[in-house]
Structure 1
């Protein structure tokens, strides 16, 4: 059994420790202070963020000249989001590719999802680097920490540049292709690889569409941080919007680590740490994080409902995913 399967237990262990170390009565009281109208407003903003993500995916798909209605893009996003809630990391993102199977081959469908995620990570890294720089400068001066963040950002950009070069990736992946792919699957894998990088080449040539996707990604983050700010106000937490703008992208990076289910444990620990600098207690911070989880699962429930009506068929063929 692979050790990676146990990684999500790290987040669960962190969550269990946090619950053990706080006053559960105060945690319950934090939930009871929730303003229902403001909570509904926050929920509405989270829906807007998901809708913008569907629009961004549409923009990326458009680089192929493929018609893909907003309704289908939104359905794919919600289903992928729902699957991602119950799997480590961002596996659910790749489920979206299955909704393109009637319009594109496997490689190109995966390209749209990967490019979408790379745009997310690029903007997230950028915002996190800016936010951490400001946070460290204002609260915990530490040049070594800043150097580490900038180093990771540079490595990410270098990796992105290498990833976009077909010849480099052929050399990197050739040993894995020879040693770990069976002869029966080599033809299929090669076709997917060729289609994938053929799609990358198409997208690289559509610079305006790629810039538009980055701009939409930035807008998504602005809306998302506004959503979590309204959620904080709904709980009576005195957290400035600018503080969340600086710190929440960092929380987002930690949330993306494949060491928990639905970010359980990692998000609570990160929010507890950052919010302590603006006078928010541990019980309130954890209740705030759990309320975000409630919003996630409400959206996930919509995704699962759509999945039951339009299930993904995990059958691989020439033009299927």
Structure 2
């Protein structure tokens, strides 16, 4: 019941933001911009986002291999697409990361190691985006004529990045892990002790996997770059003529703001942040919102293969054993 209420609230916030933004722009002009968008540049943007998804699957594979889990690149790419489908399209509390982990668990049979690989993969991705956001917020504050409006965002990114780094340090800390393990010596929690030990050992695998973590972080940074070019291609399709520097500036900042789950799948919140940030460099509101809506559409379109892959596995499930159907998701 709480999840339904929360989803309804997020949909309400999304609608409220969109109505407010649409009241601030010329809708007829915005429709004209969308209708005149260059389809070839939009196709390039779409292909670039598919590339970002593929890089994401590869960087996850680096961590999966460190755990000696069973999972080829094609399998992990499939789980990633299915996760994106459920994460982007459906009003459900089943997150994309949970779906990714579920697929790997069904394939490998090692629940804790699979879940930790997804958790650490998400953590490294956040480190890359927050690191970029901290740097870009500082640059924006120093270079933009209205940079003083970004000072609070700069402070927020620094605080968030600091908390994330501290959280990661605590998560990989052997001393903290031992203390948490001792909690499971208590009688009420003793039956969970074997699972807690497996989680602890799965985490400790990455404590000394410097090469895997470094490679994953570099690949995460490359996703920041690729998605920046997605924004840039969309802008060119709409004939928005500003320096690519601003897209490198605003992409991680927009992603940072969207970490706050106040709207349905980021819709509305993304448009509001694009309206604000691109407005700082003179982009009209109609074009800024158009860019954001197209970017959101690209995210949705690139997740559709996940729905097809899930449906295929679901339709074949009766003819398979549970072990052979890692993508079957119970309703």
Instruction: Give the TM-score range, shorter chain.
Output: 0.7 to 0.9
Which residue among 74, 88, 95 is the counterpart of 1:91?
95
2:264 aligned counterpart, secondary structure: coil
State the 4+ residue runs in structure 1 displaced beyond 4 angstroms: 3-7, 87-90, 142-145, 169-178
Q: Counterpart of 2:271?
A: 268
* CA displacement at 1:89 relative to structure 2: 8.8
Q: Counterpart of 2:160?
A: 152
Q: Deviations over 1:95-142 (max 9, x none)?
A: 101121221421111101000000010011100000100111122236
TM-score by length of 1: 0.87
Q: Deviations over 1:170-220 (max 9, x none)?
A: 767998998xxxx7x974x54443322211101222111111111111111
**Are residue 310 (structure 1) and residue 326 (structure 2) matched?**
no
* CA displacement at 1:257 relative to structure 2: 2.2
Which residue among 225, 229, 233 is the counterpart of 1:226?
229
* CA displacement at 1:54 relative to structure 2: 0.7
Contact 1:132 1:250 in 2 (8 A): yes
Q: Pairwise CA RMSD of aligned residues?
A: 2.7
* Cα distance in 2 between the residues matched to 1:283 and 1:88: 31
* Cα distance in 2 between the residues matched to 1:269 and 1:76: 31
Q: Counterpart of 2:134?
A: 129
Residue range with higher mean Cα deviation, 32-41 or 141-150: 141-150
Change (3 A) 1:143 1:57: closer
Contact 1:89 1:259 in 2 (8 A): no
2:226 aligned counterpart, secondary structure: helix
* CA displacement at 1:161 relative to structure 2: 1.3
Contact 1:88 1:261 in 2 (8 A): no
* Cα distance in 2 between the residues matched to 1:89 and 1:257: 16
Structure 1: tracts of 5 or more residues without a match: 316-321
Superposition pairs of residues 81-230 of structure 1, within 5 angstroms: 81-85=84-88, 86-87=90-91, 91-101=95-105, 102-139=107-144, 140-141=147-148, 146-165=154-173, 168=176, 187=191, 189-230=192-233
Contact 2:61 2:76 in 1 (8 A): yes
Residue range with higher mean Cα deviation, 189-198 or 275-284: 189-198
* Cα distance in 1 between the residues matched to 2:111 and 2:24: 48
Which residue among 48, 70, 73 is the counterpart of 1:70?
73
Residue range with higher mean Cα deviation, 255-264 or 268-277: 255-264
Contact 2:177 2:200 in 1 (8 A): no
* Cα distance in 2 between the residues matched to 1:93 and 1:265: 22
* CA displacement at 1:259 relative to structure 2: 1.5
TM-score by length of 2: 0.85
Contact 1:54 1:77 in 2 (8 A): yes
* CA displacement at 1:88 relative to structure 2: 7.4
Contact 2:136 2:253 in 1 (8 A): yes
* Cα distance in 2 between the residues matched to 1:14 and 1:172: 42
Residue range with higher mean Cα deviation, 253-262 or 288-297: 253-262
Contact 1:33 1:236 in 2 (8 A): no
Structure 2: tracts of 5 or more residues without a match: 315-326
2:265 aligned counterpart, secondary structure: coil
Contact 2:63 2:121 in 1 (8 A): yes
Q: Which has the higher contact order (CA 8 A, sep 6+)?
A: 1
Contact 1:106 1:195 in 2 (8 A): no
**Are residue 249 (structure 1) and residue 262 (structure 2) matched?**
no
Superposition pairs of residues 30-45 of structure 1, within 5 angstroms: 30-45=33-48
